[in-house]
C-alpha cells in the first residue's frame, strides 16, 4: 500500500519548469531545433519563442533536462550569433533558422533550405531518418547511419548542398543530443517510440514514461558523445 502511494506521488511529480503543452499560436516564433521548440510548447521557454535571454535558456535547460549551466551558456553563445541585430543579448527561435549560421543542410526532420522551410517538421524527411532506427532501442550506430544517409541524400538531390565544418559538428552534436536526452547518457540508447513521438509532436513523451534525466548532462558528456559518435560515423559504410 505504502509502495503504491509512493509510486503515485512519484508519477505525479511534475518536472520543474515543465508547464502544460500547447501547440504554437500563429504569432509565436519557432525554429529548426525540435528541443527548443518543445521547451517553448511546454512554457519552459517563453511560449512566443521570442527574446530569449541567457538566464532563461540556462534555467529552462537545467529545470527540464538537467543540463549543466556551463553547457547551456556555451550553447547560448552560439544561439545569439544567429540574431542579426548587433550586440544582441537575446535570440528568438526563428533566428536559429538563418541558413548556414547554425542551421545547416541534411537535417533529420527538416528539408534543406533550398527545398523549403527549415522551421517546420517535415514527415518525408523524418521518415528517411527513422528508417535507420531499426530496433525499438535506438543506438549511436543507428543515429550515425541515419545522419550519414541524410547527408548522402541531400548531397545527391540538392544542387546547393553544403555542410561546413561547424554544420558537420552540429549534426554530430544533435544526433548525440537526441539519443542521450530523450534516452540515457550512460547506455547511449533511446526508446524509439519516445523519439518518434517527441520529433513528430515537439512534446516531451512524459505520458510514455520519459522523465527528467537524473544525472546532469555536462560539456564533457557532450564532447565525449560527439567523439564516440564521430568515430562510429567514420567506421560506418556510407549508406
Ligand X SMILES: *[C@@H]1O[C@H](CO)[C@@H](O)[C@H](O)[C@H]1NC(C)=O
Contacting residue, 174, 197, 202, 226, with ligand HEM by CB under 6 A? 174
| 3-class DSSP assignment, residue 2 | helix
Query: Distance of CA 135 to CAs 144, 192, 198, 225, Å?
Result: 14, 7, 17, 21
DSSP string, 42-93: TTSS-TT--SEEHHHHHHHHHHHH-B-HHHHHHHHHHHHTT--STT-SEE-G
Please tell me whether residue 108 binds ligand HEM under the rule CB under 6 A.
yes
Dihedral sign for Cα 226, 231, 236, 238, please: positive
Contacting residue, 18, 79, 138, 145, with ligand HEM by CB under 6 A? 79
Q: Which range binds ligand HEM by CB under 6 A, 133-141, 157-165, 170-178, 206-214?
A: 170-178
Look up residue 195 and give its three cell numbers: 523519439
* Structural contact between residues 122 and 111, judged by C-beta atoms closer than 8 angstroms: yes
Contacting residue, 55, 89, 186, 187, with ligand X by CB under 6 A? 55
Residues 24-63 that bind ligand HEM (CB under 6 A): 32-36, 57, 61
**Of 28 and 221, CB closest to ligand HEM:** 221
174's contact among ligand HEM, ligand X, none, with CB below 5 to 8 A by partner kind, is ligand HEM
* Structural contact between residues 5 and 25, judged by C-beta atoms closer than 8 angstroms: no
Q: For residue 190, list its beta bridge partners.
A: 138
CA distance 130 to 196: 8
- Closest approach of Cβ 166 to ligand HEM, in Å? 10
- Closest approach of Cβ 40 to ligand X, in Å? 19
Please tell me whether residue 231 binds ligand X under the rule CB under 6 A.
yes
- Closest approach of Cβ 4 to ligand X, in Å? 20
Please tell me whether residue 226 binds ligand HEM under the rule CB under 6 A.
no
Contacting residue, 104, 130, 185, 192, with ligand HEM by CB under 6 A? 104
Q: Minimal CA–CA distance to 17: which of 49, 48, 51, 58?
A: 58
Q: In 10 A of CB 74, how many CB atoms?
A: 12
Residues 72-91 that bind ligand X (CB under 6 A): 86-87
Contacting residue, 102, 142, 148, 149, with ligand HEM by CB under 6 A? 102
> What is the greatest pairwise CA distance in the chain?
64
Contacting residue, 5, 124, 159, 235, with ligand X by CB under 6 A? 124
**Of 28 and 72, CB closest to ligand HEM:** 72
Applying CB under 6 A, the residues found at the interface with ligand X are 55, 59, 86-87, 111, 115-116, 122, 124-125, 136-137, 155, 161-163, 191, 193-194, 208-209, 227-228, 231
Amino acid at each position: 500500500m505504502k509502495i503504491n502511494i509512493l509510486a503515485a506521488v512519484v508519477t505525479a511529480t511534475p518536472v520543474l519548469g515543465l508547464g502544460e503543452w500547447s501547440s504554437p499560436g500563429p504569432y509565436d516564433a519557432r525554429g529548426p531545433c525540435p528541443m527548443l521548440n518543445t521547451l517553448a510548447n511546454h512554457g519552459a521557454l517563453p511560449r512566443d519563442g521570442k527574446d530569449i535571454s541567457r538566464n532563461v535558456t540556462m534555467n529552462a535547460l537545467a529545470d527540464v533536462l538537467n543540463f549543466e549551466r556551463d553547457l547551456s551558456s556555451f550553447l547560448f553563445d552560439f544561439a545569439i550569433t544567429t540574431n542579426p541585430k548587433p550586440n544582441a543579448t537575446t535570440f528568438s527561435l526563428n533566428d536559429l533558422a538563418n541558413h548556414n549560421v547554425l542551421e545547416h543542410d541534411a537535417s533529420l526532420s527538416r528539408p534543406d533550405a533550398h527545398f523549403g522551410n527549415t522551421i517546420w517538421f517535415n514527415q518525408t524527411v523524418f521518415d528517411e531518418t527513422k528508417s535507420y532506427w531499426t530496433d525499438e532501442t535506438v543506438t549511436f550506430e543507428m543515429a550515425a547511419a541515419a545522419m550519414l544517409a541524410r547527408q548522402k541524400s541531400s548531397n545527391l538531390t540538392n544542387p546547393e548542398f553544403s555542410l561546413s565544418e561547424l554544420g558537420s559538428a552540429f549534426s554530430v552534436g544533435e544526433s548525440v543530443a537526441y539519443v542521450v536526452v530523450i534516452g540515457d547518457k550512460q547506455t547511449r540508447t533511446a526508446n524509439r517510440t519516445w523519439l518518434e513521438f517527441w520529433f513528430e509532436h515537439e512534446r516531451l513523451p512524459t505520458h510514455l514514461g520519459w522523465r527528467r534525466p537524473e544525472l546532469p548532462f555536462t560539456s564533457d558528456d557532450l564532447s565525449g558523445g560527439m567523439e564516440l559518435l564521430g568515430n562510429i560515423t567514420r567506421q560506418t559504410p556510407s549508406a
